[in-house]
Structure 1
């Protein structure tokens, strides 16, 4: 089955869907496709149905009766029977979908499945019953039913724990945002610095370039400021309210004010539970539920500290949310009036550099170390995260931006590398000395094997000549923006 020529990348997702949809084995099968909105899930599934002659139905927010009527009308258009389909209940509807695959493997897609399940909570159990192992409607069908949804918290529970459909699905496919390298290709940006700047604002969501801003992109570095103003900060742009809609789309996020405050706390650099609680004005134990919901919704990620096993940090996963809470939310009344947007952006540029670009660059460095630098450290990374090292002799702590941990073949896992990342600072020998001190402290702690630990300096601003000479002597690895992208 050929991949459509207008589909950018998604080779892994397309191959998984084709394998699932074209499986010749007897018996109906079930698959789940999930991902936040605007990642291209519907485009993938519609393309699959077009190529394979399948049936695609996109649910809407509606009553149970209206949804059944809409599905019956869609089936009538697709199958062209003698009489129109009238579906009395969901059990009948699922059996009709299974009959589509009696003669051959055929994909059948129910998009926005959470809308249907919200109106009829028993629907997952009905599908479970329809897929009973010895039921003739299942065994005599080769329907490849795909349930798709954007409500991440709901979709995450669909196959988990004691959920009715647990163990029934033979495909569980997440459709994530494009990584930073793919995003640069998708936006067709040659300049790596400009690519990093754009990614720090809008991330790797495909629709932000296509439907949302109609392929508007900064022409060069000099156009970046004007692009931010016209494409993101302008009330006339669909991107202006997008960060707010990301929360509104999740049904489990009922207390919008609390969740926005939690995200604002993280965007301000409060990554631990205590810091978030202090910022929000709640007790630490009162944040367990909102943090879990935000994590299940794919809006934040929970990361362990590389050197403190009992310490957890939270980071915003979607760059647009960091940009909104760091840059837009503090000036929201003024931005709504759209009378001084350029002055607001100039005033916020320092916040952008320190609160958005700096942490985002650190994230790019960790992503590079985990996914694109497997040959640089003499071993395959098992985990890449940040960490905090205690320096009791100097009564201080050291933050490590990048800690690359290898697979533990022996008693202690190897610490392949530690690194520091600076977006707007030229790095020199002082930064290397700090890393040397951290490596010595970690060696003394005896938690990791540091015998082959490399020292890494990441900079988007460059390095001093002295530091470059030390690189030539093999004492440090210097990684530029070009290295991250190419």
Structure 2
């Protein structure tokens, strides 16, 4: 098991809790993150029961779990459950002597076939029910359909208030992903991360352990893995969308994602790309957000002006590079020619935006708070308007501190350039933007730092300016990846 120390510790604490009474936990996360491996390993470690649901009719699922529990318990007579009430009673009976983990994986499949199942579990977990109070079963419901799992414990859902654990298994961040893929070169690591993100299964199962053999091998690696019709990676982005149960009219959702991948980050831009009104796309955007495929970023300088980005890098790569030329890519031997013609689009539409997002995540989760003069409360981006010049300036990284009985401090503003050597002009631009923000009066800018992020480095004038003024910080790829 690579990393996942936090998740394993949380599971171990939940599973081994000696207090009396059965407890309920919910584990979710996008597909291919290692949830099944993690939960199966936890059951194996302490003799728990694991059941993986499949898309099936309710009666078939009852037969499958009857057979699985019979093989696990080996009772005098095999189980033949007539309904889920009987299943829950048998599962609670597993924990009569000691804390025992019971995992139902891909729970949304079961609930789709029998919508009453969450209510049946609620009934089984009533506080004063004898079967619950006399059991120490640690029931874990797991699922990859984020929209469904997110509703399981929300609002007026039957299981709201019943769960003692709510664990989200996230993709690896850019640093852990580089370590997992065995890539030490930060330029190569970021390029690979922009294509496949931090999903563990993409290296071992989907790429069959094929990693780029150095920076010069990146182009060939893309051709022989992601753009190769013979590999599972080739169609993975399409399957990720198809596997979401709430996405019925997939053509509309595909078009929304294509609009975002083409640089249309606002709701109006997406609507214009699709030739529809902004109100017409509110629902598909919300569904894609709930499914964890689209992420909404608030503009930190302008209220009610959110932008959207694709949350899964492989889906972004598919829509920017593969979908426009899908017919060509399906023809064997065409990948190299297609990739050669798509490299510039990859840099502008995939690599550049991904680099900006990595810079924001680094500022929030990895940077030393002393670098910004305080702990970030949130990190985002936004647009600053210059009334006198009638132009707007984009800020790639904005670090907001914790407000202390006054205006929130703007700890830092930054510009991120993947393919540019940054110089004094970039620093002067940030100074001008800081002055505009000061005049707007929303944030306290008295200690705002100016941060330049570059994938290629900085010229001598920028280095001299940074050496002379502590408020200027130059961040390169080695720093983003924690390298000296």
Give TM-score scaled by structure 2 length.
0.98
Q: What is the DSSP-based 3-state SS (H/G/I as helix, E as strand, rest coil) of the residue aligned with 2:377?
A: strand
Q: CA deviation at 1:343?
A: 1.2
State the SS of the aligned residue for 2:474. strand
CA shift, 1:375, in A, is 2.8
The residue aligned with 1:311 is 305
Q: Aligned pair 1:398/2:393, yes or no?
A: yes
Report the Cα distance in structure 2 between the residues aligned to 1:171 and 1:473, rounded to whole angstroms: 50
Note the 1:222-237 alignment, pairs <5 A.
222-237=216-231
The whole-number CA distance in structure 2 between the counterparts of 1:13 and 1:293 is 27
Match of 1:485 among 469, 481, 484: 481
Residue 339 of structure 1 deviates from its aligned partner by 3.1
* 1:143-154 aligned within 5 A: 143-154=137-148
For 1:65 and 1:177, how far apart are their aligned partners in 2? Answer: 35
1:303, CA displacement in angstroms? 1.0
- Which moves more between the two structures, 446-455 or 366-375? 366-375
What is the distance in 1 between the residues matched to 2:137 and 2:335? 53
Match of 1:134 in 2: 128
Q: Mind listing any 5+ residue stretches in structure 2 that lack a counterpart?
A: none
**Partner in structure 2 of residue 433 of structure 1:** 428
Can you list the C-alpha shifts for 1:85-129, whole angstroms capped at 9, x where unaligned? 110110011110000000000000000101110111100000000
In 2: Cα distance, 1:300 partner to 1:185 partner: 26
- The DSSP-based 3-state class of the residue aligned with 1:198 is helix
Task: Provide the residue aligned with 1:451 in structure 2.
Answer: 446
SS at match of 2:244: coil
Report the alpha carbon displacement of residue 368 of structure 1 after superposing the two structures with TM.
0.5
Distance in 2, matches of 1:209 and 1:149, equals 22
- Paired residue for 1:25? 19
CA–CA separation in structure 2 for the residues paired with 1:339 and 1:210: 24
Aligned residue runs from structure 1 range 6-405, under 5 A: 7-373=1-367, 374-405=369-400
Separation (CA, whole Å) in 2 of partners of 1:224 and 1:410: 51
Q: Distance in 2 between matches of 1:211 and 1:43?
A: 13
More off after superposition, 78-87 vs 332-341: 332-341
Q: Deviation digits for residues 350-406 of structure 1, max 9, x if unmatched?
A: 000111111000001000000011231110000100110000111100000000000
Aligned length: 480
What SS does the aligned partner of 1:210 have? helix
Q: Where does the alignment leave 5 or more consecutive residues of structure 1 unmatched? A: 1-6
The separation in 2 between residues aligned to 1:118 and 1:392, in whole angstroms, is 54
Name the residue aligned to 1:4: none
Deviation sequence 1:220-240 (CA, Å, 0-9, x none): 011000000001001001000
3-state DSSP of counterpart to 1:322: helix
Secondary structure at the counterpart of residue 217 of structure 1: coil
State the SS of the aligned residue for 2:308.
strand
Structure 1 stretches of at least 4 aligned residues deviating more than 6 Å after TM superposition: none
Once residues 355 and 312 of structure 1 are traced to their aligned partners in structure 2, the CA distance between those partners, rounded to angstroms, is 19
CA distance in 1, matches of 2:30, 2:372: 34
Distance in 2 between residues matched to 1:459 and 1:98, nearest whole Å: 56
Aligned to 1:3: none
Distance 2:124 2:316 in 1: 44
- 1:19, 1:464 → 2: CA distance? 51
CA shift at 1:291, angstroms?
0.7
Cα distance in 2 for residues equivalent to 1:250 and 1:355: 25
CA deviation string 1:321-373 (max 9, x = no partner): 11101111111111011232111101000000111111000001000000011
Query: CA-to-partner distance for each residue in 1:413-447, whole Å, 9 max, x for gaps?
Result: 00000000000011111111110100000011110
Q: 1:214 Cα shift?
A: 1.0
Deviation at 1:410, TM superposition (A): 2.4
Question: TM-score of the superposition, structure 1-length normalised?
Answer: 0.98
- Report the 3-state secondary structure (helix = DSSP H, G, I; strand = E; otherwise coil) of the residue aligned with 1:190: coil
SS in 1 for 2:429: helix
